[in-house]
Amino acid sequence: MWIEIAHFSALLAIVLTILQIVSSLYGVTSNNNAWIRVGRHSAIVVALLLTVSTVGLINSFLNHDFSVLYVAKHASLDLPIFYLATAMWGGHEGSLLLWAWLLSVYIGVAAWRHWKTHPVSMPYVLAILGALLLGFLLLVLFLSSPFERLIPPPFDGKDLNPLLQDPGMVFHPPFLYMGYVGFAIPYAFAMAALITGKADEEWLVATRRWTLFSWSMLTTGIVFGAYWAYYELGWGGYWAWDPVENASFMPWLTATAFLHSVMVQEQRQMFKTWNVFLVTTTFALAILGTFLVRSGVLSSVHSFASDPGRGVYILGFMTVLLFFSFGLLTMKSEQLETDIKLENPLSKESAFLFNNLFLLIATLTVLLGTLYPLAVETWSDSKVSVGAPYYNAVFIPIMLGILFMMGIGPVISWRKATFKQLKRDLMIPLLASIVAGFVSFAIGLHNFYGVCTVIVMAFVMFTHILDTRRKVLARMKTSGAGSAFRAFNQLISRNKRRYGGFIVHFGILVMAAGFIGSGLFQEEKNLFMSPKDQIRVGSWNLTLDSVGKASKYNWQAVEAVIKADNDRGFSVELRPQKRVYNETSQPTTEAAIHTTWFEDIYVVLGDQVKENVWSIRVYRNPLIVWVWAGAGIMALGVMFALMQGRIRKEKKQ
Amino acid sequence: MKNSWKIILLLSLVIIMALFAGGLSNNPRDIPSPLVNKPASNFTAPVLNSQETISLADHKGKWVLVNFWGSWCVSCVAEHPYLMQLAKIAEKRDDFMIIGVDFRDTIEGANTFLKRHGNPGYKHAFDPKQKIAIDWGVYGAPESYLVDPTGMIKLKHTGPLYFGWFEKVALPQIQGKTNGSN
Computed from CA positions of residues B83, B86, B90, B92, in that sequence, does the dihedral angle turn out positive or negative? positive
**What are the DSSP calls for A197-253, one per residue?**
T--STHHHHHHHHHHHHHHHHHHHHHHHHHHHHHHHS-SS-S----HHHHHHHHHHH
Amino acid at A560: A
A295 interface with B at CB cutoff 8 Å: yes
Burial B116-125 (b: 16+ CB within 10 A, else e): ebeebebbbb
What pLDDT shows up at residue A325? 93
DSSP state of B40: P
Burial A34-60 (b: 16+ CB within 10 A, else e): ebbbbbbebbbbbbebbbbbbbbbbbb
A333 interface with B at CB cutoff 8 Å: yes
Where do the domains of chain A lie? 2-337, 523-622
Compare CB distances from B23 to A327, A374, A383 and report the shortest one's residue.
A374
What pLDDT shows up at residue A304? 38
Residue of A nearest to B6 (CA): A330
- The answer to whether residues A154 and A70 touch, using CB atoms and an 8 Å cutoff, is no
A611 interface with B at CB cutoff 8 Å: no
Count of CB atoms situated within 10 Å of the CB of B87: 18
CA distances from A21 to A106, A125, A190, A304, A569 (A): 16, 9, 17, 34, 68
In this complex, do A315 and B24 lie within 8 Å of one another by their Cβ atoms? yes
Q: If DSSP codes are grouped into helix, strand and coil, which group holds residue A617?
A: strand
Residue with more model confidence, A45 or A518: A45
pLDDT score of A152 more than 70: yes
CATH of region B32-174: 3.40.30.10
Summarize pLDDT for A589-625 with one digit per residue, the tens: 888 999 999 999 999 998 888 888 888 999 999 999 9
Rounded to the nearest angstrom, the minimum Cα separation between B4 and chain A is 11
pLDDT score of A9 more than 90: yes
Amino acid at A555: W
Average pLDDT over residues A278-300: 78
In this complex, do B1 and A273 lie within 8 Å of one another by their Cβ atoms? yes
Compare CB distances from B21 to A315, A322, A330 and report the shortest one's residue.
A315
% of residues, chain A, pLDDT over 90: 44
Average pLDDT over residues A31-60: 94
In this complex, do B32 and A383 lie within 8 Å of one another by their Cβ atoms? yes
What pLDDT shows up at residue A376? 82
Alpha helix positions (H), chain B: 3-23, 74-92, 107-117, 131-135, 165, 171-174
A423-A427-A429-A430 Cα dihedral, nearest 10 degrees:
120
What is the pTM for the complete model shown? 0.82
β-pair partners for B99: B66
For testing contact with chain B, the best of A254, A302, A378, A583 (most B CBs within 10 A) = A378
Compare CB distances from A323 to B13, B23, B74 and report the shortest one's residue.
B13
What pLDDT shows up at residue A552? 85
Size of interface A-B (CB pairs under 8 A): 66
- Rounded CA-CA distance A254/A238 in Å is 22
Summarize pLDDT for A361-389 with one digit per residue, the tens: 999 999 998 888 878 877 776 777 777 88
β-pair partners for A175: none
Contact residues, chain A, for B25 at CB < 8 Å: 308
Residue of A nearest to B181 (CA): A381
Confidence band, pLDDT 50/70/90 cuts, at residue A105 = very high
What pLDDT shows up at residue A649? 45
Rounded to the nearest angstrom, the minimum Cα separation between B9 and chain A is 8
For testing contact with chain B, the best of A330, A333, A335 (most B CBs within 10 A) = A330
CA distances from A1 to A8, A27, A65, A89, B84 (A): 11, 38, 10, 21, 40
Alpha helix positions (H), A443-494: 448-478, 484-494
Where do the domains of chain B lie? 32-174
In this complex, do A382 and B32 lie within 8 Å of one another by their Cβ atoms? yes
Contact residues, chain A, for B6 at CB < 8 Å: 330, 333
What pLDDT shows up at residue B138? 84
Count of CB atoms situated within 10 Å of the CB of A334: 9
